């Protein structure tokens, strides 16, 4: 039977790899001026934002499951948890922006320049933040990546 730790381990890679995938997809769409791929990127981005909520909310159950285990540091858990809050806020903003784009620009052939730049900046930020959160989370149970 799945518990929160299982769910967290299954879903926590989606915000990391998903934001990287969408960044690449959106960048390709910008380079080739492909409005369809720009809009598809927004849909994927909304999905990545939703997965971030699941990853974050499953974190408390995972924390309870690993606290007290040998070689698990409460300080490392706390760092991961604090970074995850920032990631959740950022991805909430990203999700709102992507939904606004889906709703406002669905009839246009391409997204407006200011909106494309906004999405690109948010994607760059989300990729960096999600990789950082994943690295901190990995340090909790993987001593081989601790410094």
What is the pLDDT, as a whole number, of residue 10? 94
Flag whether pLDDT at 146 surpasses 90.
no
Region of poorest pLDDT, from 4-13, 31-40, 75-84, 136-145? 136-145
Q: What is the DSSP string of 70-121?
A: TT--HHHHHHHHHHHHHHHHHHHHHHHHHHHHHHHSTTSSS--HHHHHHHHH
131-141 residue pLDDT tens: 999 999 999 98
DSSP state of 12: T
Nearest to 37 by CA among 50, 47, 24, 19: 24
pTM: 0.93
67-95 residue pLDDT tens: 989 889 999 999 999 999 999 999 999 99
């Amino acid at each position: 039977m799945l518990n929160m730790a299982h769910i967290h381990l299954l879903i926590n890679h989606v915000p990391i790899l998903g934001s990287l995938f969408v960044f690449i997809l959106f960048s390709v769409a910008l380079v080739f001026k492909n409005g369809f791929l720009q809009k598809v990127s927004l849909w994927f981005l909304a999905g990545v934002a939703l997965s971030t909520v699941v990853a974050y909310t499953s974190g408390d159950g995972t924390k309870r499951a690993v606290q007290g285990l040998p070689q698990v540091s409460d300080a490392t858990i706390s760092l991961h948890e604090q970074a995850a809050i920032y990631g959740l806020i950022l991805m909430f903003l990203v999700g709102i922006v992507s939904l606004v784009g889906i709703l406002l620009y669905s009839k246009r052939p391409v997204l407006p320049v200011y909106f494309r730049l906004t999405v690109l900046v948010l994607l760059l930020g989300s990729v960096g933040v999600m990789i950082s959160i994943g690295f901190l989370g990995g340090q909790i149970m993987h001593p081989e990546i601790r410094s």
